Amino acid sequence: MGNLKITNVKTILTAPGGIDLAVVKVETSEPGLYGLGCATFTQRIFAVKSAVDEYMAPFLIGKDPSRIDDIWQSAAVSGYWRNGPIMNNALSGVDMALWDIKGKLAGMPVYDLLGGKCRDGIPLYCHTDGGDELEVEDNIRARMEEGYQYVRCQMGMYGGAGTEDLKLIATHLARAKNIQPKRSPRGKTPGIYFDPEAYAKSVPRLFDHLRNKLGFGIEFIHDVHERVTPVTAVHLAKALEQYQLFYLEDPVAPENIDWLKMLRQQASTPVSMGELFVNINEWKPLIDNRLIDYIRCHVSTIGGITPAKKLAVYSELNGVRTAWHGPGDISPAGVCANMHLDLSSPNFGIQEYTPMNDALREVFPGCPEIDYGYAYLSGRPGLGIDIDEAKAARYPCEGGIPSWTMARTPDGTVSRP
């Protein structure tokens, strides 16, 4: 199809899981040939739609969809300034859709275009939570019964404050019962309050209980979610060594990555970083200097499959494994993109997975099969995922700013979410 051209690019917004999602559809001059990609940035969902519809679409229409890297490179600099999450998500939606089209043209799944399978199934981890150690233990046992061999263990969500915000994880989670936050002053500013010092003291107690009750036959992950000071993160990593975590996730904020050198010098707890990265200069020194063990980027926020595959290869050369971000605010198209990368990367480490409800699976035919802690792709050409636009329209997005990003410490100081 030497004369194949992009004829239309549009954004489809939908929320069948209760979380706002953005999917880009790239249509071509070949009737019925189109690709899908994830452009979900829930906190700025309408800004991404505008970026796709008003800027990316005019830039792309008439171009050859087979020139994926050329399109990625030229689109990335078409606004002169680059590496922001809004434009990167817009670019990602297009990039994933082009890989989807390429696979359909070749009659091959995307993982075959990326070098073929490196494993038979994709091991997953899921989130477990609870109001106290016993509730967390019970929830882990339930996940173990489902076949999960890796779990992320939290008590009171991130920081111990729990959450009522369904746009974070599509479920209510209770505040940690045994974390007693410090008293707040009068005239308390609205926000989600947590006590970073009390939270940090609770984490070793949690894992002491879990290892005593569940042993070392299951892998544990914990997400700090950048909610403590850098020196507290160092202390926490040291305190958790004896519990042999699979990794400690986002112990510091991107602004404080220089502290990872001190953490590395003082603790052997494996570290995963990258969820908030949007620029290559953020992760490159961490990989070069062996300051992290797992690269954990949100694939749509760095620009899609094209940069993620390059990052995976660069990480492989430096002994770092992949652990792509897989929260509820990622569309099934994005989930599939993650998993095509997982299957084709020798240095794959683990894949975060947020279970999908029936509505998501109905709107997005072709979702991965999840069986006893592993994910399996369909093997169909392209990403193997589709969207029913009529059904997607039944679940409109709400927009707005999620309340969980409005984090504050006991005296009312704004904190990192």
Q: In angstroms, rounded to a whole number, what is the distance separating the alpha carbons of residues 57 and 74?
A: 14
Q: Dihedral, CA atoms, 95, 100, 105, 109, nearest 10 degrees?
A: 130
Contact of 194 with 181, CB cutoff 8 Å: yes
Question: Strand pairing of 321-322 and 294-295?
Answer: parallel
Contact of 297 with 283, CB cutoff 8 Å: yes
Q: In angstroms, rounded to a whole number, what is the distance separating the alpha carbons of residues 301 and 332?
A: 15
Q: Which two tokens stand for residue 338?
A: 């993650």
Q: What's phi and psi for 34, nearest 5 deg?
A: -150, 165
Place of tokens 């997975």: 353
Active site residue 243: no
Neighbour-count burial of 204, counting CB atoms closer than 10 A to its CB (0-12 exposed, 13-18 middle, 19+ buried): middle
Choice among 34, 125, 158, 374 that is catalytic: 158
Helix then strand then coil, % of the chain, to nearest 5: 40, 15, 45
Q: Which two tokens stand for residue 23?
A: 């999917």
Whole-number Cα distances in Å, 61 to 27, 89, 138, 164 = 9, 18, 53, 42
Active site residue 158: yes
Q: In angstroms, rounded to a whole number, what is the distance separating the alpha carbons of residues 294 and 28?
A: 37
Choice among 111, 193, 199, 225 that is catalytic: 225
Which residues are part of the catalytic machinery?
158, 225
